[in-house]
Structure 1
């Protein structure tokens, strides 16, 4: 099995960059951020809020905060791709009020050579050894503005979740680190355990257990980015121990918590101002 993930220090809070080469299948999960990526070689098949997506070399793939998705290679050759994740507040500042980020979703897959050029320039600017803040800022604006102006929609990809299931989901979201026994969740949803399992998976795209682990990984990412030690993170995020956190982290994101920490725990006093405007 081929699987290589390289996280990069971007030097910009709220922006993460990864280079990946893998035959691995990623389970369904979601991110807190917007994601924009470029398939370099091979093919990539994934589920998204819009349905199934089949991307090939040269295609741009995109994901929205909270959007359930997975990823696999349709053959044994695997695929290579690059991803950049943007915190929603970074996107809001870049767009400077032109777009209501909370009501806008990026399309899951596009074929746009101009967007691919913008992305490649941005990825290069963010991952070079001694990045130039001014150049990175311009590349950020070009990439994000073009994506949101030309490849986004107001149509919601979110499925309407029944109130009984949403009640359980919100409880998990508020405290993923706590135990959530199946019987207690079913009781809260006022249904049997088996009916709850089916209803939750249908509404969210993941089983309750998988969703809880996903939310714990998201919490762990935030705690790691805040500078906490990994042992403490594993405890505060609800994992049995650090090795348990590592196994789940790698299964969902393809990278260990320690390598993730090395990439995101940079000097957070450095922040780019995104006040320049471009007219793409």
Structure 2
């Protein structure tokens, strides 16, 4: 197999949770272009069907399942549908997550006025919303001894970022879970099952739009600080995550597991001086 063939996902069945989000859309598009068959999972039926139509316009094969990553039974039902349709699962992208407005501490709030219940919900969505699908869909990969799982980490797991306590705690958990699952699946099942994470830099999404943009569309002071802290001096575009995603899911990354890959324009590397 030549090197270009190793990057192909042709015929592989990949599940994308949170496929209805902005980053999820970029992921679905990239997978379709790489030849994968895609199951788009999300809670918004209209957007999930839009993603399916996007894949079809690219000549790919996809279908949507309306399901909740926080509900194990919902995930198991989705798994059954996929197995009935395509017979297997080769990859999983855990893209469901994001911040919760009530879990964001405003600049004029005391941190101890933080809404603890909302913070816990943010932790559950980002951490449990990664663990539950992995345990459900990962079992299929373990049984056949082949597969690749991609989790979504964050800059917040390596650098303290103000105001987003729950999100920060959750993404630290995602990094730990990535390493743990990578080790356990390889040791117990097969060295052809891999688990990695992508840590995006700052990308404008629906979840962070109010933190990063003003009503008139201009950047907030917070967004400008991110830009100033990034050697590339700009925010990222979701399309810039696509290459890393395809690589980690493909046979080209056959000896890569337990890693978190930063796609952040240099933010995590720079000292600021």
Pair in the same fold by TM > 0.5: no
More strand by share: 1
Relative contact order higher in (CA < 8 Å, ≥ 6 apart): 1
More helix by share: 2
| TM-score scaled by length of structure 1 | 0.25
| TM-score scaled by length of structure 2 | 0.26
